[in-house]
Amino acid sequence: MAQNDLMSSAEDVADQFLRVTKQYLPHIARLCLISTFLEDGIRMWFQWSEQKEYIETTWGCGFFLATLFVLINLLGQLGGCILILSRNFVQYACFGLFGIIALQTVAYSILWDPKFLMRNLALGGGLLLLLAESRSEGRSMFAGVPTMRESSPKQYMQLGGRVLLVLMFMTLLHFDTSFLSILQNLVGTALIVLVAIGFKTKLAALTLVIWLLAINVYFNAFWTIPAYKPMHDFLKYDFFQTTSVIGGLLLVVALGPGGVSMDEKKKEW
């Protein structure tokens, strides 16, 4: 009984938070979500020579292709961010950023690094949620078809986005025998399962936002490292990528889990 009361109180707090921030939360979520692309696009501008030389040396692709790679990353990321923030051609911007993720995954050999690969997939999950949010049911190509079928692509996008988002937390699990690590792993695993299956989704996603925000500020405090040290850039990259996943989770809080979820099925029961 006490456990049910505690859960109900927590859900009430989450609902109250959503009511208070309802008008602002989607905007904050989008800004957080595109932050890693914005930061990386700006970095391409200021580190143009270094990025070009890295690609040219690693792949032996020559000056032209290396320059083209940096240019595509710079224009694609900054252009996509501008479109998303201005809410113009959001779907095209999302597909463009999906392409940037795929291009960087290959170019920087992320495909063979499970940790960074899962983080990139989580970032893709956030974009998938943004793509779902941008879909307008009134403009669906299936005009005249019943609403449930019309909105089903959006629902499955939300499902795919939720599942991919939780991959970020798989990289935060610590496999040691200390009590704190075991507790963190158990609580974290329970929360990511709840988000993935869409049960108590808003509460679980909001809890993960708070948890991930605390971890991000504590472990990725790049501002405490001098800019000339390599660790500064590494932590900065990690910080903004994690912030983007937080943006994806905030979209889950703002939009709900979608039709393919246990929360939605409960309404039918």
Phi then psi for 31, rounded to 5 degrees? -65, -45
CA distance 138 to 125: 24
CA distance 126 to 242: 11
Please write the tens of the pLDDT for every residue from 140-186: 444 444 444 445 788 888 889 999 988 888 777 666 677 777 877 78
pLDDT recorded at residue 147: 43
- 0.75 surpassed by pTM: yes
Percent of all residues in the chain with a pLDDT value above 70, rounded to a whole number: 88
C-alpha distance across the termini of the chain, in Å: 22
- Residue 238's nearest CA partner among 251, 225, 228, 249 is 225
Please write the tens of the pLDDT for every residue from 100-111: 999 999 998 888
Please write the tens of the pLDDT for every residue from 34-71: 999 999 999 999 999 999 999 999 998 889 999 999 99
Helix (H) or strand (E) holding 184: helix 179-197
> Taking the CB of residue 42, how many other CB atoms lie within 10 A of it?
14
Task: Count up the domains in the chain and report the number.
Answer: 1
Helix H, strand E, coil C: the string for 55-76 is: HHHHHCCHHHHHHHHHHHHHHH
> Taking the CB of residue 112, how many other CB atoms lie within 10 A of it?
8
- Residue 256's nearest CA partner among 244, 241, 266 is 266
Question: Radius of gyration (Cα) for the chain, nearest Å?
Answer: 20
Q: What is the mean pLDDT of the chain?
A: 84
Check: CB of residue 140 under 8 Å from CB of residue 227.
no
Query: Is residue 255 scored above 70 in pLDDT?
Result: yes
Enclosing domain of residue 216: 1-266
pLDDT recorded at residue 5: 61
